[in-house]
């Protein structure tokens, strides 16, 4: 069953009507209301009623609109598309069809081309004559061309010698000692050039680790890759100052240092058994962590202290604002709020047993509250009766009936209570006309205007018919 909306739906130009489906019916079955849009299942077209007839919005028919753009400008809905014939252009219309044709003939084309060649053209050594009165031919006359063509590019004017053989470009040549029998004259510098002495050994032998080396063969160093010892009587035998020493694994007993114990960016202390996250690291004294993050990956944390302190460096309540406990995964928090100097919880609290209250709950003094609250809410095991619940509900709600007269579109409702603010009232309109079997008992949507803390107006786009009734339910939330 469709939801009845009895007033206009204003999307305020910022909201979209998404995934909408038009009313599927036929133009013969739909009511003829001006502006109505339907999907005609008989013709599979979208139709709208213009006040006198149904008009199709689908397909390329006479009722289809398309934007028209001319010269980069799009015609508005108030403008009419007009065609203007230019030079040598004709425009005709017949039965809605527009024909645009060129009026340029053969003579026009001949005159244009001849005018460019004979009159407007600038030519050197060539002239044109146009037979306009005759066959329209264009005759061209080319003047005598003079060009110095003496000489020959087939051979060199002056022959050249290559490898002792004359060459003028008229034929291929062979060079003795290159691609034919004979010798080339190599008496130049290449014949007398000398190479340096052998580069396979050093001119002067050098000593490496006490072993002579001239490059002729590999050598072995005692204490390095051969039996023996290297002389280490130099500075390395007696370190002085504060040199840096890099070593691998050190096996040692107790280590005593008077300075820092420094390591890489990630520094691991691994008690036996190693590499399995077991063992115990004992700090025999106080532990102070100066970093910004302390991460504990263990599953059980035991603290002997009876009082667990958070935000101990906060100078006052304002500085402690936001301190508390957050439970990962559940997004559950217990946070201190300075503005109200209170603990704020974002999850329900289940309590087994009594709750002792000194002060108020939501601003209500429980002990001084009226008799209903005193008898029903100040003890953990008290239960409210149906009459007591009804009294509370009646004080915060009311029901009213609207009866249509076929003329009134606005109805004023007086709540019977006073809300804390104009908008602190929930209002629901329900069809209560028994004869309306489609919507009787259904929530309907009319415009609700809350204009005071005691009254509102219910507005309909069309006046309800005579005798049609609607129930208006009002509930105060504050």
Whether residue 438 is contained in a domain is answered as yes
Q: How far apart are CA 466 and CA 450, in angstroms?
A: 25
Whether residue 129 is contained in a domain is answered as no
Residues 335, 375 share a domain? no
Pairing between β-strand 24-25 and β-strand 37-40 as defined by DSSP bridges: parallel
Whether residue 61 is contained in a domain is answered as no
Whether residue 195 is contained in a domain is answered as no
Whether residue 289 is contained in a domain is answered as no
Instruction: Report pLDDT for 195.
Output: 46
Residues 371, 337 share a domain? no
Residues 411, 367 share a domain? no
Whether residue 365 is contained in a domain is answered as yes
Q: Which residue has the tokens 């102070």?
A: 288
Residues 442, 383 share a domain? no
Residues 388, 416 share a domain? no
Q: Tell me which residue range forms the domain holding 379.
A: 358-395
- Report residue 246: phi and psi, to 5°: -110, 125
Residues 434, 365 share a domain? no
Give how many domains the chain has, as a whole number.
Answer: 3
In a structure prediction context, what are the per-residue pLDDT tens digits for the chain, which is 478 residues long?
A: 567 777 787 775 767 888 888 999 999 999 999 999 999 999 889 999 999 999 988 754 544 566 788 778 887 767 778 888 877 788 888 877 888 887 677 777 777 777 777 777 667 777 777 777 777 777 777 776 666 656 555 787 888 888 778 878 788 888 787 778 777 776 655 444 444 455 577 878 888 878 888 878 888 888 677 877 766 665 555 556 666 666 677 777 888 888 888 888 888 898 988 888 888 999 889 988 888 888 888 888 888 888 888 898 899 999 999 999 999 899 999 999 999 999 999 999 998 988 877 777 766 666 655 544 544 454 444 556 677 777 778 788 999 999 999 999 999 999 999 999 999 999 999 999 888 777 788 888 889 999 899 999 999 988 999 999 999 999 998 7
Q: How far apart are CA 461 and CA 6, in angstroms?
A: 6
Residues 377, 338 share a domain? no
- Between the alpha carbon of residue 389 and those of residues 4, 316, 386, 396, 478, the distances in Å are 33, 45, 5, 11, 17
Whether residue 412 is contained in a domain is answered as yes
Instruction: Report pLDDT for 374.
Output: 46
Whether residue 92 is contained in a domain is answered as no
Q: Which of 186, 154, 151 lies closest to 168, judged by CA?
A: 154
Q: Which of 8, 2, 1 lies closest to 462, judged by CA?
A: 8
Residues 457, 439 share a domain? yes
Give just the sign of the alpha carbon dihedral 366, 369, 373, 376: positive
Residues 436, 385 share a domain? no
Instruction: Report pLDDT for 101.
Output: 81
Residues 363, 340 share a domain? no
Work out the burial of residue 211: count CB atoms within 10 Å of its CB; fewer than 13 is exposed, 13-18 middle, 19 or more buried: middle
């Amino acid at each position: 069953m469709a939801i009845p909306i009895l007033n206009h739906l204003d999307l305020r130009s910022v909201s979209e009507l998404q995934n909408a489906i038009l009313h599927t019916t036929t133009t013969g079955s739909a009511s003829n209301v001006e502006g109505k849009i339907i999907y005609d299942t008989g013709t599979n077209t979208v139709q709208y009623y213009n006040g006198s007839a149904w008009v199709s919005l689908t397909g390329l028919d006479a009722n289809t609109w398309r934007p028209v753009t001319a010269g980069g400008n799009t015609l508005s809905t108030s403008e009419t598309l007009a065609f203007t014939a230019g030079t040598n252009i004709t425009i005709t219309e017949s039965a809605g069809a527009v024909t645009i044709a060129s009026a340029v003939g053969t003579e026009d084309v001949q005159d244009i081309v001849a005018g460019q060649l004979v009159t407007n053209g600038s030519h050197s050594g060539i002239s044109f004559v146009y037979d306009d009165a005759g066959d329209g031919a264009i005759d061209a006359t080319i003047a005598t061309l003079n060009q110095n063509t003496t000489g020959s590019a087939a051979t060199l004017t002056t022959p050249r010698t290559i490898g002792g053989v004359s060459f003028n470009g008229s034929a291929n040549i062979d060079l003795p000692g290159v691609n034919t029998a004979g010798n080339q004259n190599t008496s130049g510098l290449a014949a007398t050039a000398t190479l340096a002495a052998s580069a396979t050994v050093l001119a002067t032998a050098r000593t490496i680790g006490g072993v002579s080396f001239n490059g002729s063969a590999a050598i072995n160093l005692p204490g390095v890759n051969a039996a023996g010892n290297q002389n280490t009587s130099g500075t390395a035998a007696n370190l002085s100052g504060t040199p840096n020493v890099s070593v691998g694994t050190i096996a040692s007993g107790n280590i005593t240092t008077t300075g820092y114990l420094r390591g890489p960016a990630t520094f691991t202390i691994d008690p036996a058994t190693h590499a399995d996250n077991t063992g115990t690291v004992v700090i025999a004294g106080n532990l102070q962590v100066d970093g910004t993050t302390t991460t504990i990956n263990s599953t059980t944390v035991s603290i002997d202290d009876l009082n667990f302190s958070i935000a101990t460096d906060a100078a006052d309540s304002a500085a402690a604002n936001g301190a508390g406990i957050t439970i990962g995964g559940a997004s559950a928090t217990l946070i201190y709020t300075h503005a109200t100097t209170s603990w704020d919880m974002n999850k329900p609290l289940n309590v087994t047993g009594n709750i002792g209250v000194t002060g108020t709950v939501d601003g209500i003094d429980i002990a001084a509250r009226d008799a209903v609250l005193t008898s029903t809410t100040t003890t953990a095991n008290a239960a409210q009766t149906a009459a007591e619940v009804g009294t509370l509900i009646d004080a915060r709600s009311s029901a009213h009936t609207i009866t249509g007269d076929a003329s009134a579109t606005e109805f004023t409702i007086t709540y019977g209570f006073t809300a804390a603010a104009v908008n602190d009232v929930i209002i629901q309109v329900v069809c209560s006309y028994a004869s309306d079997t489609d919507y009787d008992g259904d929530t309907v949507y009319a415009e609700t205007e809350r204009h005071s803390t005691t009254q509102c107006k219910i507005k309909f786009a069309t006046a309800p018919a005579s005798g049609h009734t609607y129930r208006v339910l009002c509930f105060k939330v504050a």
